[in-house]
Structure formats: structure tokens, C-alpha cells
Structure 1
Amino acid sequence: MIMDLQNTTYISIQANCTVDTSYRFTYYKISYSVIFIFGVVSNATVLRRFCRMPQTYTSTAIYMANLAAADIFFVNSLPLRIYYYHNKAATTSNHTNDWSPGGAFCQLTFTLKYISLYGGIFFLVCIGVDRYFAVVHPLHQHLRKVRTARMRSFGIWCLVLALSLTLPFLYSAASRWNKSCLLDPSSKRHHTIILAALGLVQIAYLLPALLLLFSYCSILSVLCRLPHCRKIRHRCTLTVIYWVLVVFFVCFTPYHLNLLGYTLTQVCLVQSCGLAQVTKVLHPVVLSLASTNCCLNPLIYYFSSSLVHKEPTGSRGSASQ
């Protein structure tokens, strides 16, 4: 969220509630450098394979290609973030004046981050829902046509761009000076906008999470009633949905839970020094964990390759089974 590029080394809910987080600049530099290398190689490989695929695309292929494109947005922003943290670490260690990148830098990095974060969330859900209709409602093939998948993907991009531009806009509306790349949660002037952004972020996570869980439970319920010989046909579907669930909940759940606790303590809606300290210390870790989704998403492509490349049994515009 907006508090990921922080300038202060200590927080203070109360006079005696402080914690040192000076490690975060070096941690971010190392973790983002590793994510950048693996993210570029893995997603470039996926996009290259999609470009070389025959034109018999499936709906799964459309969602996977858009997922890889969303990851590329974040990967492209990482050099800017690494440069930012390198300068922050240098000014902190040398005790020089605080380095500020300016408003345009903040807007760009925030926008690219949210395009990847919520593009990844929404397209992961699309893959899960696509598998839901393939198994639970196989007769509704019109919902899984390539044209429908492209239209749905276009709508998701519009939603992601609107969300990604809204959050930096809230930052700009609350900050009159370009002193840092964050809103100060301790400033009462920012509380309303901070909470509005928090609510928007949490909804953008919770609704897809519930939809993904519903799709998975419905798929599992149907497959449990099938004879063993028919279950084998859906082995790839189960593998894909397992990986989607792992990537989704391992990468995004810790980030959003930590963000909720961190923000509520910072705006003093929750008076807990221990929670404030823990969430502050964990914030760089869970943010980097959320960022690793751009490295893990290509694994979903690997395990769904038969669904992506399989030519439809019906019309060429339909999706695979």
C-alpha cells in the first residue's frame, strides 16, 4: 500500500513504543534484485512461448498471457525501487540530508506496483473461475470462449488501471509537499484518506479470495463424486487450482493482513504497541513476499501447459476442457 516506501526509522504509537527498522533498505535492495532477475527471465520466457503458439488459443491461455503481462509491469518498476532504496541506504548510513525522489517518481512506482499486484490477483481468480466452469458447468462453454476471455481481460485491465491510478491520486490529494513516497499515518490530516485507501485495498483482495475459494470448493465437490477413471482426466485442473491457491494465499494474504494491522495501529484505531511493532518489522518481509508472485506465476503456466496448448474439441473459439 502507500506506506511501503517509508522514510522514518522508528514508529511511535506511544512515547515508549519504538522499533528499529533501518534494515529495510538493504533488505529491499537484495530481495528486489533477486525478484527482478527471476521475474524478467521467467515472464519473458512465458510471453515468448505465447507469441510462438499457434492461433488456437484457449481461455486459459488468454488469462495466463495477461497474468504474465501484469508481472512485467512490476518487474519493470523494480530498477526504480532498487535505485530508491540504494539512495535511502546511502543517506541513512552517511547521516546526510534525506533523499527524496520527487512526486513523478512516486506516482510511477506506485502505479506500476498496483497494476502488477491487483492484475495478478484478478487474473489468478480468472484462471480459477475458468476451471470452475470447465468442471462444474461444462455445458456453459459460451462463457469460456476466447472472445469472452479477451473481453473479460479488457474489463479487468480497466478495473486494475482505475484502482492503480486511484491510490496514488489519494496520496497526492493528502500530501501538499513531495517530501517522501508515503502518507504519514500519524498525521490526523491523512486519516480519512488512509482509511479510504485501506478499505479499497482490502476489498480488492477479499472479494477475489472468496470467489477463488468458492470455485475451488465447487470443483472439489464435483470431482469427489466422479469415478476414478474420470478424475484422472481432471488431474491437470486440480494441479492448476492448487498452484493458484498457493500463489494467491501465500503471496497476498500475509501482506494484506499485516497491512490491516499496521494501518489500524498507526491511525490509533487499535491501541497496541506490540501489534504496531510486529507489523512494522514484518512489513518489508510481507511486501517482498507479495512481490514474489511475479516469479511464481510462471509455474502456473508450466503446470497448465496442457490446458493452454490443447486444441478445443469443438469450435476453434472454445476453450479447452
Structure 2
Amino acid sequence: MTFVNTSCLVVNCSCSTHMTEWETTMNQLYTYVYLIIFIPGLLSNSLALWVLFRFISKKTKAIIFMINLTIADLAHVLSLPLRIHYYIQNVWPFGNMLCMLCFYLKYLNMYASIAFLVCISIQRCAFLLRPFCARNWKSRYDICISSAVWVVVGLCCSPFILMRSKSNSGNDNTTCFKDLPMRKLDVRSAVSMMVAAEVLGFLGPLIIIGFCTYLIVNSLRQRNQKQQSTGSTRKALRMVRVCTGVFLFCFVPYHINFLLYLMVTQNIITNCAASQAIRHFHPISLCIASLNCCLNPLIYYFLTTEFKQQLSQHSSSVLRGRLMSMESTSSYRE
């Protein structure tokens, strides 16, 4: 089995010498972006998870899928301090297994997020168009679907770590992430991986979310013509549109670049200028994809009416309880 060192992806050595300065810039880019993501990502997703578990019980609002989406985001966010340490120190002292786990969690978060955004869009669309189905829907159905998503996505993301391996160099125990060598695949395996990642992980979900948006827009248009438009229709449309927006902003750049980047790592693209451009954009696309950890909470905070209602009701009840307690204490003293 042969390996390609991703720290020197281009074949032409004279071309690779121009990448040294970019290596430093890339480390700084990862560091700053992960620092920016970590605190708001941790706080927003932790609060969202607490509220979703504690207060929201309505089964027709894709709550189970939102919980799983939040868990996927938190898993990636909690691995960011180790990534930040590596890009600042340029040394990985935590062992190969933890390196592979952090590397795996990044792609698991990306594709689990895509899958649950699709689930949210489908369910909101289906329940809007088929309200009688929503009445008979059970929460355990969502749990079974979520479990299946985790299994399928977990297995499908395994090639990302199987393609990476420690080399036999002396710096074996100090490298991780982008500095790990990549296995050289045969043409059939490379093409299969590219097609699976693009079709199952990108084009398929994009088509599904787009179709859900179209159905809801069409339903809203028909109801407006009949003057039967309801708030639930508009809310469902806003939610699906936000799912579409998060999907397009976070994941389109990465998947556009993914095909080209894999071709560079497999020496299919050997042109110096093209290889540099593709390699330069790769970390940028990964950083943009990581922003989904901070953007996904928009779905909970701004579009789920139940979320805001329950949160305000809880705050009001706590305030009322404190006021009543103060009044009773005051009366007792008098």
C-alpha cells in the first residue's frame, strides 16, 4: 500500500516549495476559525439541547431530529480544543487513536448534519401536506430513523479515516489531521468514493431539500389564492428555507472542492497552478463547513415557535414563583 503525504500534494517539487508560506497561513486559519466557533457553538448547542430535552414534547415539529442535530454539533465542538492545540503547537501529544477520533468526528458532524437537515425538511413538509399522518405519528418512529441515520452515516464516514494512516517516519507520533499521509487508491476505488460522497452526501440531500421547499411554497401559494393561508404553513416554509440556507452556505463549497481535492491527492490533477488553487481552497471550505455548528441553532431559536414559547413561559413561571415567594415571606414577617 502506498501513501501520499498531504503536506506535499503536488507532484512537481518546485510547485510544492511555494506552499510553505501557505502551510503557516493554513494553521492560523484553522486556529482562528475554531476559536471563533468553539465558545458560541458550545453555549448555543448546550442551551438548545437542554431546552429541547426539558421543555419541548411536540412530536410533529421534528424535535427528535433537532436533538440529534445538536448532538452531532456538540461532538465536533468538543473536539475543537484539541485541534486548536495542534495548530498552535504543531505537535500532537494525545496519541493516534484520539487523533483519528477527532478527525472522524469532523466528517461525522458534517454528514450527520446534512442527514438530519434532510429529515427535518421532509418531516415538516410531509406533516404540513398530510396533517392526518402527523396525528398518528409516534416519537419512536423518529428515534428509529435517527438511529438508522447514525449507523449509516457512521459507516459511510469510515473511509475518511481508513484513507489516512501513520507513515513510518520518525515524526509519526507528533502529526495529525492535514499532516497525515493519504492512501493511494486505485482508479475504481477513487471514483467510487467520489461518486458516493457527492451523490449520497451532497446532490441527493440538495435535491430532497429543494423539492421540500418547492412543495411548501406551492402549498402556500395555493392557500393564499384560496385565502386559507395559515401560520403553520409559513413557519414550515421558514424552517425549510433555513435548512436550505445552512446546507448551501456550509456544505456546497466543500463538496464542490472535494472532487478536485481528491483528484489532487491521487495525482490525477498534476498541474501546478490548479493543484495550488485547489489545495488553498480546501481548508477554507472545511472551515466554512464547520460553521454549521453555530448556524444550526438558528433553526431552534428563530423558527421553532414552541421553543420560544416554552422558554418564555419557563422564564415567566420562574419569575412569578420568585415574586410569590417574596410576597409570602413579606406577609409572614408582617
Q: TM-score range by the shorter chain?
A: 0.7 to 0.9
Q: How does 1:239-318 map to 2 (within 5 A)?
A: 239-306=238-305
Q: How does 1:38-49 map to 2 (within 5 A)?
A: 38-49=40-51
How far did 1:152 drift?
0.9
Question: 1:64 maps to which residue?
Answer: 66
Q: Which has the larger radius of gyration?
A: 2
Q: Which amino acid aligns with 1:218?
A: L
- Secondary structure of residue in 1 paired with 2:164: helix
Mapped to 2, the partners of 1:80 and 1:200 lie a distance apart of 30
Question: 1:168 maps to which residue?
Answer: 161
Question: 2:15 maps to which residue?
Answer: 17
Match of 1:137 among 124, 130, 133: 130
Q: Is 1:150 matched up with 2:152?
A: no
Question: 2:223 maps to which residue?
Answer: 226
Decide which moves more: 24-33 or 138-147.
Answer: 138-147
Mapped to 1, the partners of 2:237 and 2:209 lie a distance apart of 13
Mapped to 1, the partners of 2:11 and 2:75 lie a distance apart of 36
* Alpha-carbon spacing, 1:165–1:210, altered in 2? closer, same or farther (3 Å): same
Mapped to 1, the partners of 2:132 and 2:138 lie a distance apart of 12
How far did 1:60 drift?
1.4
Question: 2:31 maps to which residue?
Answer: 29
Mapped to 2, the partners of 1:69 and 1:11 lie a distance apart of 34
Q: Which amino acid aligns with 1:17?
A: C
Q: Which amino acid aligns with 1:216?
A: T
- Deviations for 1:10-37, whole angstroms, at most 9, x for unmatched residues? 5424355344222011111111011111
How far did 1:189 drift?
5.9
How far did 1:301 drift?
0.7
Decide which moves more: 11-20 or 214-223.
Answer: 11-20
* Alpha-carbon spacing, 1:148–1:201, altered in 2? closer, same or farther (3 Å): same
Question: 1:94 maps to which residue?
Answer: none
| Higher share in helix | 2
How far did 1:190 drift?
7.1
Mapped to 1, the partners of 2:62 and 2:56 lie a distance apart of 14
Q: How does 1:54-133 map to 2 (within 5 A)?
A: 55-88=57-90, 102-133=95-126
* Alpha-carbon spacing, 1:36–1:193, altered in 2? closer, same or farther (3 Å): farther
- Secondary structure of residue in 2 paired with 1:84: helix
* Alpha-carbon spacing, 1:76–1:30, altered in 2? closer, same or farther (3 Å): same
Q: Which amino acid aligns with 2:209?
A: L
Unaligned runs of 5+ in 1: 1-5, 92-98, 312-321
Q: Is 1:209 matched up with 2:206?
A: yes
* Alpha-carbon spacing, 1:104–1:137, altered in 2? closer, same or farther (3 Å): same
Unaligned runs of 5+ in 2: 311-334
Mapped to 2, the partners of 1:191 and 1:36 lie a distance apart of 38
- Secondary structure of residue in 2 paired with 1:227: helix
The two structures have a TM-score, normalised by structure 2, of 0.77
CA contact (8 A) 1:84 1:101 kept: no
How far did 1:273 drift?
3.4
Q: Which amino acid aligns with 2:214?
A: C
* Alpha-carbon spacing, 1:26–1:244, altered in 2? closer, same or farther (3 Å): same
